[in-house]
Amino acid sequence: MRRTARTLEQALTGRPLLHAELRWPSAVGVDLVGRTVLGTRSYGKHLLTRFDDDRTLHTHLRMEGSWSIARTGTSAARGRSPYVRAVLGNTVWTAVGDRLGMLDVVPTRDEHTLIGHLGPDILDDAFPTDGLAEALRRLKARAAVPIAEVLLDQTVVAGIGTIWTAEPLFLLRIWPWTPADQVADPAGLLMTTRGLMVRAVASTTGPTVTGESGRGLSNYVHSRAGRPCRRCGTPIERGEVRDAPMQRPIFFCPRCQAPG
Ligand SMILES: [Zn+2]
């Protein structure tokens, strides 16, 4: 989400909106035309775009969503796909929000009602000094819950998706179903996760970003079911964590990440 926030920041901040369409039932009638965008920040997977009239647009990409940027006046900037949920344009750039998972406009002072329940943002600059202790407290409180499920729980630590759950667990040889309070070095796990995510954000450029980006050939285990482990050659397996309908895939090497 840090990448998406940066993209929106570059395209929209400091300029008034000439065009603003929110194609979302609860936002019908919300008029943002003429408002200047003050900035966009991410918190976990949530995006908060603030305007100069003390309102905030809150969006969330979930699995499929993306924000892309097009030059105002081009056909891409019109957002004609039926899946487009938001179009925000100034004289130069237009941001098009496709398949967004959440969208609300709230008074800026009420932003905490959207994100107040979340754990510390793992990508926040202050995470190592301020967020880590609180995240560890929340993680340990989940006791017998499988560690993969705890990493995905945004109320424990915000910002981790399925890729960045699978990859650090592989690197540290942790079985995804290890009870959270039995992980030997949970601080090391969170900091490894953060390190991988920071590197991924830094290495990706370009205007289009999606909710589950980072899916690539260089992954160790994510989306590699049936293919040989890069360390031991054993076929990677795909399991599931969380109960339906919230289940999520988790990829792991049954040999490198055997139950302890
Ligand atoms: Zn292996």
Run of H or E residues at 7:
helix 2-12
Give distance in angstroms: CA of 250 to centre of ligand 1: 15
- Residue 201's pLDDT is 76
Cα–Cα distance for residue pair 139/109, rounded to 1 Å: 29
Cα-to-centroid distance, 237 and ligand 1 (Å): 10
**Rounded distance between C-alpha atoms, residue 2 and residue 81, angstroms:** 25
State the pLDDT at residue 173: 98
The model's pLDDT over 71-107, given as tens digits with 9 standing for 90+, comes to 999 999 999 999 999 999 999 999 999 999 999 999 9
Specify whether the backbone of 29 is left (phi greater than 0), alpha (psi in -120 to 50) or beta.
left
d(CA 131, CA 123): 10
Ligand 1 centroid–CA 252 distance in Å is: 8
Position 203 scores a pLDDT of 73
Ligand 1 mean position, distance from CA 221 (Å): 9
The segments of the chain whose pLDDT lies below 50 read: 205-216
Give, to the nearest 10 degrees, the angle between helix 132-141 and helix 186-203.
120
- Order of strands across the sheet that contains 55-60: 37-43, 46-51, 55-60, 102-107
pLDDT at 204: 61
| Cut 0.85: pTM above it | no
| Ligand 1 centroid, distance to 254 Cα (angstroms) | 7
State in Å: Cα 220 to ligand 1 middle.
9
Q: Which stretch of DSSP H or E encloses residue 50?
A: strand 46-51
Distance 231 CA to ligand 1 centre (A): 5
